[in-house]
Amino acid sequence: MAGRITGYTVEPDLRYLRGAAPVVTYSMFEHDEASRRNLALAAGELAAMGATVDLVRRAGTWRWNGLVRRSRELTAVCWFRHPGAVERALEALRGRYVAGRPSAVEGSWLVPDVRVSGAEPSGTIPASAHVMPVGQGEAAVVIGLSPEPPLAGMASHPLRVLPCWADHLSRVRPAAALTRE
């Protein structure tokens, strides 16, 4: 309501934000066959590149056309041994898992939820994951461009996202920005 956050996920496993190993996450809706197939293809392709892949369920909440939307999502958390493998993984995701491209897999998103931690690959932009525990081992995660969290009490972790997220994330404002306006 205060305009600080445009969306968040509720996640049961935040190891991808704290790990020393390079990690790429890729998320899809869990509610339809095209999304599940898309995620299975991406996870298989990333595993073939040497990633250890964990599938994690999470809930998404975002504002779309003035309404609050919620979704069940499945996230492939892909752990790599070497940062160089992250570059190849992102190349594959950009090439086949972004909607609107000729080679896009059915069910791909125009703005895919791809997060990178533990590496700084080219073609990504810096962002932060702001985390607030919400009980039973779960946490709400807000992604923003500012390293300063949008709400007091949130812990922040650096990560990288695809540039297509820049416009969406520029609307996530830290609490201090509201006091300066």
Quick check: helix, strand or coil at residue 117? strand
pTM (two decimals) = 0.88
Tens of pLDDT, residue by residue over 30-67, are 888 999 999 999 999 999 999 999 999 999 887 777 77
Average pLDDT over residues 134-138: 89
7-169 in CATH: which number? 3.30.70.120
Residue 158 tokens read as 């650096």
| Average pLDDT value for residue range 95-122 | 92
Question: What are the structural domain ranges in the chain?
Answer: 7-169
Give the closest residue to 130 by CA, choosing from 3, 4, 2: 4
